[in-house]
């Protein structure tokens, strides 16, 4: 099959529209058996009346891909990276060994996935690099696993795609699939890091990013008073309340972790 003819089955649970650019491509395992119709089954589950409080943009098995959430919408797959990520679910399990990841089924699944992920890297100018949790916290752009997102933002305990997921082999497949469209990571001028969507703001700051922060606080139930673009005592109290609610240091300074907690909420 070709990644240009991917069927679409709308998942039941997702957030319509996204305010942020796509910065990270998150790799998951479906924790489902390696069957010919695993992608179709999981997509049907995401869409059906017994749908989980979760979804992903794409489900991939050994012979097909099903899209479940539009790229323009936010899927619920990796809290902390949902607002700026795309989620890719793979047939198989996080407990798979390196040997399991090398069987014919996994090889076919990874090849299909790499072709799709390569298109997304091209589309969004995302460097073909694997991000560790510290890279995610630093706002770097690239490809990562659910486990790295869990470790970076502490909003999920999922460990997929597992310690034996063949990261380097997978990245090589993505690069190969991009052909001449591949750009060495060092040459992604200014694109290896997301533009500052989460500037550090503290009392006394003003401007549109403060207004954005105030609106976001209000949306999440932490009333900052008027969204007037002035970071005063009301905004300070709201930021501290949000930080406390998310288990962060309540210093009243809205830095990357506070933004991520609010955006992911
Ligand atoms: Zn996952």
Which residues neighbour 5 within 8 Å (Cβ) at sequence distance 6 or greater?
A: none
Q: How far apart are CA 170 and CA 129, in angstroms?
A: 10
Compute, in angstroms, the gap from residue 154 CA to the centroid of ligand 1.
Answer: 13
What is the block-wise mean pLDDT of the chain (265 residues), using blocks of 10 residues?
79 91 96 95 96 97 96 96 96 97 97 96 92 93 97 94 97 91 72 68 86 88 91 96 94 92 80
pLDDT reported for residue 3: 65
Compute, in angstroms, the gap from residue 155 CA to the centroid of ligand 1.
Answer: 12
Compute, in angstroms, the gap from residue 147 CA to the centroid of ligand 1.
Answer: 7
pLDDT reported for residue 265: 65
CA-nearest of 22, 40, 34 to 81 is 22
Compute, in angstroms, the gap from residue 122 CA to the centroid of ligand 1.
Answer: 23
Bridge-based pairing state of the strands 142-145 and 58-60: unpaired
pLDDT reported for residue 18: 84
pLDDT reported for residue 193: 65
Compute, in angstroms, the gap from residue 213 CA to the centroid of ligand 1.
Answer: 28
Are 68 and 88 a contacting pair, CB within 8 Å? no
pLDDT reported for residue 246: 92
Report the run of H or E that residue 118 belongs to, with start and end: helix 104-124
Compute, in angstroms, the gap from residue 160 CA to the centroid of ligand 1.
Answer: 5
Compute, in angstroms, the gap from residue 158 CA to the centroid of ligand 1.
Answer: 6
Q: How far apart are CA 55 and CA 26, in angstroms?
A: 12
List b or e across 77-116, with b for residues whose CB sees 16 or more CB atoms inside 10 angstroms.
bbbbbbbbbbbbbbbbbbebeeeebeeebbebbbebbbbb
Compute, in angstroms, the gap from residue 90 CA to the centroid of ligand 1.
Answer: 9
Compute, in angstroms, the gap from residue 81 CA to the centroid of ligand 1.
Answer: 11
CA distances from 131 to 18, 90, 139, 148, 234 (A): 22, 18, 10, 8, 36
Bridge partners, 74 (sequence order): 15
Compute, in angstroms, the gap from residue 195 CA to the centroid of ligand 1.
Answer: 26
Tokens for 89?
Answer: 């679910």
Compute, in angstroms, the gap from residue 144 CA to the centroid of ligand 1.
Answer: 11
Q: How far apart are CA 152 and CA 134, in angstroms?
A: 6
Compute, in angstroms, the gap from residue 145 CA to the centroid of ligand 1.
Answer: 8
Are 114 and 177 a contacting pair, CB within 8 Å? yes
Length of the chain: 265
Report the run of H or E that residue 162 belongs to, with start and end: none
Compute, in angstroms, the gap from residue 259 CA to the centroid of ligand 1.
Answer: 22
Compute, in angstroms, the gap from residue 239 CA to the centroid of ligand 1.
Answer: 29
CA-nearest of 89, 98, 80 to 28 is 89
Domains of the chain: 14-187 (3.40.80.10), 208-264 (1.10.101.10)
């Amino acid at each position: 099959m070709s990644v240009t003819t991917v069927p679409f089955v709308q998942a039941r649970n997702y957030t319509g529209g996204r305010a942020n650019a796509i910065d990270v491509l998150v790799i998951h395992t479906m924790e489902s058996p390696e069957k010919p119709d695993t992608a179709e089954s999981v997509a049907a589950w995401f869409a059906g009346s017994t749908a989980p409080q979760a979804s992903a943009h794409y489900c991939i098995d050994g012979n097909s891909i099903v899209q479940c959430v539009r790229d323009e919408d936010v899927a619920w797959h990796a809290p902390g990276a949902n607002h700026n990520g795309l989620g890719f679910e793979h047939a198989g399990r996080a407990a798979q060994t390196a040997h399991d990841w090398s069987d014919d089924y996994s090889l076919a699944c990874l090849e299909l996935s790499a072709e799709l992920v390569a298109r997304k890297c091209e589309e969004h100018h995302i460097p073909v690099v694997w991000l560790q949790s510290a890279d995610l916290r630093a706002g770097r752009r690239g490809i990562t696993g659910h486990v790295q997102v869990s470790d970076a933002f502490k909003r999920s305990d999922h460990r997929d795609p597992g310690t034996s997921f063949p990261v380097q082999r997978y990245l090589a497949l993505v690069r190969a699939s991009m052909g001449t469209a591949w750009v060495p990571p060092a040459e992604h001028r200014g694109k290896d890091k997301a533009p500052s969507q989460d500037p550090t703001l503290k009392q006394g700051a003003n401007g549109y990013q403060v207004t954005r922060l105030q609106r976001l606080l209000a949306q999440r139930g932490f009333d900052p008073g008027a969204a007037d673009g002035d970071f005063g005592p009301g905004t300070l109290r709201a930021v501290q309340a949000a930080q406390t609610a998310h288990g962060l240091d309540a210093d009243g300074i809205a830095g990357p972790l506070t933004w991520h907690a609010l955006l992911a909420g």
